[in-house]
Chains A and B, each alone.
Chain A
Amino acid sequence: MSADGRRVVVTGIGVVAPGSMGREGFWDMITAGRTATRRITFFDASRFRSQVAAEVDFDGRLLGLTAQEVHRNDRFVQMAMVAADEAVADSGLPIGSDSPDAPDPDRVGVTLGSAVGATMRLEQEYVSVSDAGRHWLVDPRYASRFLAHALVPSCGATELAVRFGAHGPATVVSTGCTSGIDSIGYGSQLIEDGDADVVVAGASDAPISPISMACFDTIRATTDNNADPEHASKPFDARRNGFVMGEGAAVLILEELEHARRRGAEVYCEVTGYASRCNAFHMTGLKPDGTEMAEAVGQALDQGRIDPSEVGYVNAHGSGTKQNDRHETAAVHKSLGSAADRVAMSSIKSMVGHSLGAIGSIEVAATALAVQRGVLPPTANYEVPDPECDLDYVPKVAREQKVDVAVSVGSGFGGFQSAIVLAAPSRRTE
């Protein structure tokens, strides 16, 4: 909440996630504990160390995009557009229409997160212009007309702004693997600060391409559990050995509370706090103490004047690397204190993989749905506890549990640590 009392609520959600269709398909899948990880089908991954991923069976044309939208845009933009369409429809706000109920277009902003932007398109085109790496001096005659659009990921924010006629502030947020939390956090700040009443906020990434897979191969960040793809992503389990690459998008409609009330909108939850810190330690390494993530969680709770004991659920970063799982477990202990012993924490990356910048928004979407529906998605594949990870990870089966306050956390290359706090609309504030 801002100094002059502007509060932010979530009134629409759209999701493009592996193994499912739309928000409800995604919710059904993750609450059923079903995994969407499989052997890579997008390209021949036989020479790669990690050959599994959580792919989306995505066809932009079938999901309402025009032929030209598909032609000029990378997959990450297409998925963002589809998720945004669903979120806007869900909100009931006729954004960008001539309806008298449409919000003032000057007061509608866009914040879209993406860690790697249009890498897939840039790599595919590079293969042509360089003749599969034969030439350093690329041949312009093989270049797509839309490479400039792909080079800078802000094309994603532009496409959404144009789609909904949103004339407010627009930006792409690219803080690596925390992009999807940060974009929703920044969107909330736009509303708090009075610069927008409605923000189309989310994130999208499509990193299942040879260069992205190869760069995580070399540092062994991804799993080499290729024999059993369905069970390859094992956050917090003692047997985990790296993350499973994913892809997808999620978009939330953020709205100023009074704006939502006036139109009688259905509210999923309130965004009561968001904070980010850097560990200033290492581009890929994490210190096991979790200090900076704990600092971010503490700050985010403070913004909404929420006591740690009120937190019922933590949606984990839970990437399935040993250092992350221990870092994050320590951060939850440090930030929630004795309340950590009672909190439920789960990682949906066990089911939908790690879609880099997108996953933060997908996880915030899952957290918002969990708060609204009183069901906590599980950590799939969790069987063998790691003695150093001693929280309640909601193993394998979803849990019916009403939570008033939930926290979603993320951690990324570059040392970024972010946390966002969602509260049920029914939560008593005084």
Chain B
Amino acid sequence: MTGLLVTGIGVVAPTGIGVEAHWEAMLRGEPAIRPIEGFDPTSYGISLAGQVRDFDVDEHVATQLKVQTDRWTWMSLAAATLAAADARYEQPEDVYATSVFLASGSGGNEFSQHEIQGLWAKGPRSVGAYQSIAWFYAASTGQISIRDGYKGPSGVVVSEGAGGLDSIGWARRVARRGTPAVLVGGTEAGLCPYALLCQATSGRLSTATRPEEAYLPFDRRANGHVVGEGGAILLLEEPGAARARGAEKVWGEVAGYGATHDAHHHEDPAPDATQYARAIRLALADARVSPDEVDLVVADGAGTPELDALELQAIGAVFGDRRTPVPVTAPSSWTGRLMAGGSALAVATALLAARDGIVPGTAFLEQPIEAPGVDLVRDTRVQDVSTVVVLARGAGGFNSALVLRRTPGEART
């Protein structure tokens, strides 16, 4: 049986607005990690981020909706529109036939900081009427459903950085139970002063001041990550329904998914990569794909020495017996880590790589760490990609893996 098809992609990312703009920036070799604009983060010892700079909210969100919502939701609304446009998807007659099932991470940060500040500085009456609907984790999902009239079983899952992949995993359950189209993925906007401070307390943010020295997954110089914002929303459709409405574009097929939890410690990763490797194996088994058939692994690329080593250990455990080492890249190095939005964007990037037969390299990777059995992709290369595994982890021990196939239902070799 064929899995769900990806028929539309909407991207709002530091690299660009729209799936092609994002891809072109990567092909031009322009990482989007830059000095933070908008406020001075010097006191946190942090100076870089992957901000979405050319996002004109008025171009994407009606004024009435803009004032009710946080930046995170603006980006979700824009990405959902772009995904539907890319798929040429129009609301079908059956209002229950479309679901919105997104991942969320940190909610409406900037809106909320503003309202909490007002509350404590001036009193409860300063809190505006929209706080109750702007900051909670379901705000973007609810607003998309309302704006676009989608009444299917919608949901919101939170698993930090793994969320983008997990929303796809849950969307498959929704589709299995009869809803033919599901918007998945998510965006994140954690670059207001308080949200950035919260993230900084993890001790996992890079304090480097130069982009080429900051977020360096799989590099010997890895010293933490850079926070990014934005993400991607994708339209998944049941193949029969996509065919029936005459969908022209098929980016690929969601062939398999697996998720596990380290269940080791609230903060530290498990010292072995057993559960991470198990997530990958579950996804491959689900897709009926053998490790030899995988052309590319899009890695989580946490950017700390310990987490990077564990990820390569997990990949090595699954793919180590191949005749040729598996190519592994970390495109998050171009944008910073977008939390829930990041793994959704990784899916978009993986499908772009498959479409064009171009594997984007890992930005700024100069001194790759030892990785037996793994072909770390440093420079962008031309290579046929028909089966991709996308990996994501969430702080606390969430491990998720997704198998994508360029051509749906390709026979197993």
Write the residues of chain A forming the contact surface with B, with a CB cutoff of 8 angstroms.
47-49, 72, 105-106, 110, 115-117, 122-123, 126-127, 129-130, 132-134, 136-140, 143-155, 157-159, 161-162, 164-176, 182, 186, 189, 193, 210-211, 213-219, 221, 275-284, 292, 295, 412-416
Query: B132 near A216 (CB under 8 angstroms)?
Result: yes
Query: Looking across the interface, which residue of chain A has its beta carbon closest to that of B265?
Result: A162
Query: A143 near B397 (CB under 8 angstroms)?
Result: no
Query: A140 near B43 (CB under 8 angstroms)?
Result: yes
A162-B265, A211-B112, A280-B150 known, 13 other contacts, Cβ within 8 Å: A136-B117, A140-B43, A148-B200, A148-B202, A149-B266, A149-B396, A159-B266, A170-B398, A171-B157, A173-B157, A189-B173, A277-B153, A414-B133
Interface 9-mer from B27-35, B100-108, B330-338, B341-349? B100-108
Give the complex CA separation of A215 and B134 in angstroms. 10
B143 partner residues in chain A, CB cutoff 8 A:
283, 414
Query: A413 near B96 (CB under 8 angstroms)?
Result: no
Indicate if B40 sits at the interface (CB-CB under 8 A): yes
Give the complex CA separation of A130 and B197 in angstroms. 11
Interface residues of B in 43-77 (CB under 8 A from A): 43-44, 68
Query: B116 near A182 (CB under 8 angstroms)?
Result: no
B197 partner residues in chain A, CB cutoff 8 A:
129, 138, 140, 143, 147
Write the residues of chain B forming the contact surface with A, with a CB cutoff of 8 angstroms.
39-40, 43-44, 68, 95-96, 100, 104-107, 112-113, 115-125, 127-129, 131-133, 136-139, 141-143, 145-146, 148-160, 163, 166, 169-170, 173, 176-177, 190, 193-195, 197-202, 204, 259-267, 275, 278, 339, 394-398
Query: A130 near B117 (CB under 8 angstroms)?
Result: yes
B129 partner residues in chain A, CB cutoff 8 A:
218-219
Q: How distant is B271 from chain A, measured CB to nearest CB, in Å?
A: 14
Query: A414 near B166 (CB under 8 angstroms)?
Result: no
- A152-B106, A152-B160 are contacts. A217–B127 as well, Cβ < 8 Å? yes
Q: How distant is B287 from chain A, measured CB to nearest CB, in Å?
A: 15
- A115-B136, A137-B43, A161-B397 are contacts. A123–B116 as well, Cβ < 8 Å? yes
Query: A214 near B127 (CB under 8 angstroms)?
Result: yes
Query: B39 near A137 (CB under 8 angstroms)?
Result: yes
Q: How distant is B358 from chain A, measured CB to nearest CB, in Å?
A: 33
Give the complex CA separation of A161 and B40 in angstroms. 37
Query: A170 near B159 (CB under 8 angstroms)?
Result: yes
Give the complex CA separation of A218 and B120 in angstroms. 15
Query: B124 near A126 (CB under 8 angstroms)?
Result: no
Q: How distant is A389 from chain B, measured CB to nearest CB, in Å?
A: 25
B112 partner residues in chain A, CB cutoff 8 A:
211
Query: A130 near B141 (CB under 8 angstroms)?
Result: no
Query: Looking across the interface, which residue of chain B has its beta carbon closest to that of A110?
Result: B261
B202 partner residues in chain A, CB cutoff 8 A:
148
Query: B260 near A169 (CB under 8 angstroms)?
Result: yes
Give the complex CA separation of A416 and B152 in angstroms. 10
Query: A186 near B155 (CB under 8 angstroms)?
Result: yes
A282 partner residues in chain B, CB cutoff 8 A:
146
Of B100, B133, B166, the residue contacting A284 (CB under 8 A) is: B133
A174 partner residues in chain B, CB cutoff 8 A:
104, 136-138, 156-158
Query: B137 near A278 (CB under 8 angstroms)?
Result: no
Of B125, B132, B395, the residue contacting A148 (CB under 8 A) is: B395
- A174-B136, A414-B139 are contacts. A126–B154 as well, Cβ < 8 Å? no
B170 partner residues in chain A, CB cutoff 8 A:
171, 186
Give the complex CA separation of A134 and B121 in angstroms. 6
A218 partner residues in chain B, CB cutoff 8 A:
125, 127-129, 131-132
B105 partner residues in chain A, CB cutoff 8 A:
152, 154
Query: A170 near B127 (CB under 8 angstroms)?
Result: no
Give the complex CA separation of A162 and B270 in angstroms. 11
Query: Looking across the interface, which residue of chain A has its beta carbon closest to that of B105?
Result: A152
Can you list 26 A-B pairs, Cβ within 8 angstroms, ordered by A?
A47-B123, A117-B107, A117-B158, A126-B113, A130-B194, A133-B120, A138-B194, A149-B396, A155-B266, A158-B395, A164-B263, A165-B263, A167-B275, A169-B259, A170-B159, A170-B261, A170-B398, A174-B136, A175-B141, A186-B173, A221-B132, A280-B148, A284-B133, A413-B142, A414-B139, A415-B145
Query: B260 near A275 (CB under 8 angstroms)?
Result: no
Among A49, A110, A140, A144, chain B packs the most CB atoms within 10 A around the CB of A140
B193 partner residues in chain A, CB cutoff 8 A:
136-138
Q: How distant is B118 from chain A, measured CB to nearest CB, in Å?
A: 7
Query: B394 near A105 (CB under 8 angstroms)?
Result: no
Of A133, A143, A154, A161, the residue contacting B121 (CB under 8 A) is: A133
Query: A158 near B266 (CB under 8 angstroms)?
Result: yes
A117 partner residues in chain B, CB cutoff 8 A:
107, 137, 158
Q: How distant is A294 from chain B, measured CB to nearest CB, in Å?
A: 12
Query: A152 near B266 (CB under 8 angstroms)?
Result: no
Query: Looking across the interface, which residue of chain B has its beta carbon closest to that of A211?
Result: B116
A173 partner residues in chain B, CB cutoff 8 A:
155-158
Among A72, A132, A172, A279, chain B packs the most CB atoms within 10 A around the CB of A172
Query: B198 near A150 (CB under 8 angstroms)?
Result: yes
Query: A140 near B159 (CB under 8 angstroms)?
Result: no
Of B104, B146, B266, the residue contacting A72 (CB under 8 A) is: B266
- A137-B40, A282-B146 are contacts. A214–B119 as well, Cβ < 8 Å? yes
Q: How distant is B413 from chain A, measured CB to nearest CB, in Å?
A: 26
Query: B124 near A116 (CB under 8 angstroms)?
Result: no
A279 partner residues in chain B, CB cutoff 8 A:
151
Query: B160 near A276 (CB under 8 angstroms)?
Result: no
Query: B151 near A280 (CB under 8 angstroms)?
Result: yes
Give the complex CA separation of A280 and B260 in angstroms. 33
Q: How distant is B160 from chain A, measured CB to nearest CB, in Å?
A: 5
Query: B96 near A295 (CB under 8 angstroms)?
Result: yes
Query: A127 near B158 (CB under 8 angstroms)?
Result: no
